[in-house]
Each structure stands twice: as structure tokens, then as C-alpha cells.
Structure 1
Amino acid sequence: TFQELRAIIDQVDLQEQIGVCFDACHLSDSGYDIVHNLDGVLDEFDRIIGLGYLHAFHINDSQNPPGSRKDRHALIGDGYIGLDSIVEILNHPLLRHLTFILETPTDLDGHADEIKLLRSLYRD
């Protein structure tokens, strides 16, 4: 939870030198509703931890419904998060400046295809 991350951060001496990496599947599978309430999730994160700590985003889909607590990544657009939500994440004004790291269960050719897809969905 964001509260657990806050508790960890609070124990770090050099807090200005650490950051958080979101993971779409982890967020969804842990019960954060990034499909229907991305703004609410970001507001909660900002209130508890602070958006200044958010440095990167693992982009992926989830094989399981929200709140399943399973962490099974799916290909982009092939899971419960869905392509529309991935597009919203990529282009969200509070997230679009982040480094996005593709983390899906595929081979090099599959990753190349997904990177092309993600680049085509990113709005300049």
C-alpha cells in the first residue's frame, strides 16, 4: 500500500535520493483502481507519499482482475487493465514525463511490437 511505502521512506536517512516506480499490474492487482479512477489513485499517492517521489513506471497489463493480489503481467491491451487505460496512463499530464519501462511476458520480437504500439499511442 502507499502507507507501507511511506513507512519505508520514513526510515530512510537520504530520502531525497530515493524514488518510487509504479507498476500498472502491481497497482491494479493490489486494488488501486487505475482503470476507473487513475486521478484518485494519483491524488492518494500524492497525499501519502508525494508525486515528487514518483520517478518511473513499469507499463504492462494484468492477467487478473483488480484486487486479486496475484501479480501476473499480461501483454499490453490483453488483460484487465486494457489498452484504453494504458493510453490514459502514458498520456496523463502527471505521468507522461516519467520513464516508462515495458515489462511484459514476451520475447524480443514481441517487445519490439509492443514498443512500436506504445510509441504510436503516446501523444506529443
Structure 2
Amino acid sequence: MSSFQIGDRVIAEYKTGVYFGEVVEMSNTMKAAVRILAVKEHPTQGDLHNPMDPSVAFFHQRRALSFQEIALMPISTIRPYAGAIPEYRESLERALLAQISKLSEMEAWARRSLQELTQLQKEYFPNSN
């Protein structure tokens, strides 16, 4: 049995995004309806079954849930939250910019790693083409 009550403030995961919200309905012991109040982490882009693969047949674009949107979420993805909830638009921008920054850093890391690996390849196999 869930310990959540209608009106409880929570942090909840939905698909690949994480949100601040409030419980508006307990549908059963496994799921709760949560009203979205702010975005903590923007959803991940791409195919979840093939992460980090840009050449999948359908590369999913995932939008964040909207302000006041209600989503049915598994209880296991919800936890209590007692802190301040940021304003939706500011939280969405912050989450989006954080995701962009993270991917930009990964891109820079990948480019540098490829440079180093290419250098190692030349050292390991100096007589190869």
C-alpha cells in the first residue's frame, strides 16, 4: 500500500524525465496521477532500447511534460518532496540547458577520445595503413 495522499508534493520520474509535482489521484496501489509543476530533468532523446545510437530507424524526440499536465506514474518512480518547487518555465529552461550542456561535454569528450585512440592506433600498429 502506498503512503502517498492526494496533495502530496513529490518528485516523479516519467519515461526518461524527472518532475516536481503533486499527487492528484491514487488510481490503485501501483500507480498515482501526478500533476506536473516543474521539470527537474529533461527527457532523454533517442531510442531507449538502443541508447547512444544516432542511426536507429526512429530517433525519438521527447518533450517535457507540460505545466499542470497530469500523468499516471508507477508508485515506484515517485518519492516525497518537501523543498521549494521552482517556477515551471524556469525549471524547463534549466533542465533543457543542463541536458544540452551534458551532451556537449560528451561530444567534446568523444572527439578528444577519438584523437587519443587514433594516436594509440598509430603507436600500436605503426606499419598498418
TM-score scaled to structure 2, two decimals?
Answer: 0.29
